[in-house]
Structure 1
């Protein structure tokens, strides 16, 4: 018998550990195929002959927390947003931690600065693990605040 699906609310806290993102608010969106991560800035570079992307994102209260990360580019393709506008986006493969579970997901980078949530979790990231209760929010709590050694920023 397969494991039962874990129920998520329409918004949840997620962790992207491989990108150094200890917690981030995400909108759960079954209408979106792919997942999207807000970035303020992104740049390409090569590492070991392979294409990589570096990026910076701000989030938290008044976008006061800033994280800089890098990852190999998995793919690049056109994404059509809910307004029908197409945009070529970089896709990464990274680990998602949500509701005590971890899964490798594909995520694209875009400017979501005008949106309430810095991340949108699309249906391909949820398939086979999660079901959604649209009347609920943050069912799995907030991940703990990261701690840094004394003197670290």
Structure 2
């Protein structure tokens, strides 16, 4: 199967969370994907540990309340070298016509340009990255205004 080529930034969706048009930075330097989340809380549903969190769209936009299956807690080292314990959740990622389950660490990305980072684990065996191009499988105009 031929791998699809993506740019260093793309517009993606998290259909299980009801979110479309989210701009994401494609980052082969990061192992784990990351999603900007606040008000993170764990709870139990029918014996399964779940995470409840809000996706903060910033600039006065309303929060989106989400729930996802908790996968793990992991120590994640950020780009500035700081290690922190983060909650990892798993949900469907929709990218370039492909839907697949991916793991995301929930983190405060309020000081970052992109609310989502897609790491190499999610990209592996599916995509090739052209770091000199943007929006090869998506259209920047598809990004929802609340994310821009």
Q: Do these two structures clear the TM 0.5 threshold for a shared fold by scoring above it?
A: yes
Partner of 1:121: 118
Aligned mates of 1:67, 1:117 — CA distance in 2: 16
Aligned mates of 1:55, 1:120 — CA distance in 2: 17
Larger radius of gyration: 1
Partner of 1:133: 130
Maintained 8 Å contact 2:11/2:143: no
Partner of 1:150: none
How many residues matched? 142
| Displacement after TM superposition at 1:40 (Å) | 2.4
Aligned mates of 1:126, 1:63 — CA distance in 2: 32
Maintained 8 Å contact 2:39/2:54: yes
| Displacement after TM superposition at 1:5 (Å) | 1.0
| Displacement after TM superposition at 1:63 (Å) | 5.7
DSSP 3-state at the match of 2:54: strand
**Unaligned residue ranges in structure 1 (runs of 5+):** 146-153
Maintained 8 Å contact 1:40/1:113: no
Let me know the Cα RMSD of the aligned residues.
Answer: 1.6
Equivalent in 79, 88, 111 of residue 82 of structure 1: 79
**Unaligned residue ranges in structure 2 (runs of 5+):** none
